[in-house]
Amino acid sequence: MTFEKNDIEQLEQRYRTAFINSLAGFRQAVLVGTKSADGFANLAIFNSLIHLGANPALFGLINRPDSVPRHTLQNIIDTKEYTLNYVQAAQYQKAHQTSARYEKSASEFEKAGFTELYQPSFNAPFVAEAVIKIAMKLEDIIPISLNGTILIIGSISQVDIDASLVGADGYVDLSAAEVLISQGLDAYFVSKAIGRLPYAKP
């Protein structure tokens, strides 16, 4: 079976979305916690986390086009703060529920069954049940004109992680933590490590 560019463009919209999204492969599922300027907590699942650099420590997220209200994006723009939360695979049903389109005043924490957690001097909520919690500061918003999506770039302010997950060389063993990973918009998995290799040289 071969799909040419024109074939892909002619696919039924929902089929095309599922096909291309799942074709991109397995990705980190992360719950993004924010709080609006007027005090409403928000939690949303993303599978577009990107490592942009280690010095400074930068992560990116791809946000869908803001053709409809995007509470997470607006909260990040307004407050310049957000959290990244890695939950375990066993929490996949609750994590998926945060993708539902609730009203701004409704808390996805409450609707999905997660607990809000706050740290001193940081306004955005963390997920108390998360095995890894990362505080982020907004650094840049980059519109992608090709399709209307938006790249959110943030710097890491704080990482809360169990010391047992961090190796002597700094490697974070996400597999040991059984963190949730996803494929497409609705399939979830747990990873299994097959090995680590030394730095490759000619």
What structural domains does the chain harbor?
A: 26-190 (2.30.110.10)
Residue 88 structure tokens: 């375990």
Range 46-84 burial, b when 16+ CB lie within 10 A, else e: bbbbeeeeeeeebbbbebeeeeeebbbbbbbbeeebbbb
Q: Look up tokens 């909260």; give the residue.
A: 75
**136 contact partners, CB below 8 Å, separation of at least 6:** 59, 81, 82, 83, 84, 124, 154, 155, 156, 157
Single pTM value for the model: 0.92
Q: What is the pLDDT of residues 116-139, one digit of tens each?
A: 999 988 999 999 999 999 999 999
Q: What is the pLDDT of residues 52-94, one digit of tens each?
A: 999 999 999 999 886 666 799 999 999 999 999 999 999 999 9
Residue 139 structure tokens: 């650094």
